[in-house]
Amino acid sequence: MKICCVFLLFITVSCSFGQKDKGNSKAKSDSLVPYGKKMLPENVCYIIKEGGTEQPFTGKYVDHHEAGTYICIGCDKPLFESETKYDSGSGWPSFYNAIDSKNVLKKRDDSFGMVRFEILCANCNAHLGHVFDDGPQPTGMRYCVNSAALNFIPNP
């Protein structure tokens, strides 16, 4: 039990360490600001433009199990399929693969004394979250994504 709790704490810290939590602010979520050709809530723009993060276990897609496609909230680019989503226990939606590796950019992030890789939408450069190499097979990857950076299109 202790190992499980320590592991969960490590995962939570590794996803959010050094990230600002302004992205979950209710007070600013009603203010719309421009992002490309869209008007998005200020808290969403904070996440996708400034690399913020939402608090763990608060995002709308953490416990979401419907079949479909997760797309970038900024430009509607398809990013992840529901078949690759899994419960990592981290508090953020996690996927073991992107729809197309060309749709998600990886950028080395050396901030706060740790090495990790930020993931961005290749089309509009929106900050999505981070990717780690501790996910399940077949890829071994864990794309740890902010719900606020995504929209969802259910399968017909």
96-150: pLDDT as tens digits: 999 999 999 999 999 888 899 999 999 999 999 999 999 999 999 999 999 999 9
Domain over 2-154 is classified CATH 3.20.20.70:
no
Q: Could you tell me the pLDDT band of residue 17, with boundaries at 50, 70 and 90?
A: very low
CA triple 26-123-55, angle to 5 deg = 25
Q: Output the CA torsion sign for 124, 83, 92, 28.
A: positive
Q: Find, among 103, 119, 111, 108, the residue nearest to 48 by Cα.
A: 119
Residues 6 or more apart whose CB falls under 8 angstroms from that of 81 comprise 68, 69, 70, 99
From CA 119, how far away is CA 116, in angstroms rounded? 10
- Tell me what the mean pLDDT of segment 65-80 comes to: 98
Domain boundaries, the chain: 2-154
| 121 included as an active-site residue | no
DSSP strands (E only) in the chain? 32-35, 38-41, 68-72, 78-81, 85-86, 94-95, 104-109, 116-121, 127-132, 142-145, 150-154
From CA 150, how far away is CA 142, in angstroms rounded? 16
Q: What is the pTM of this model?
A: 0.82
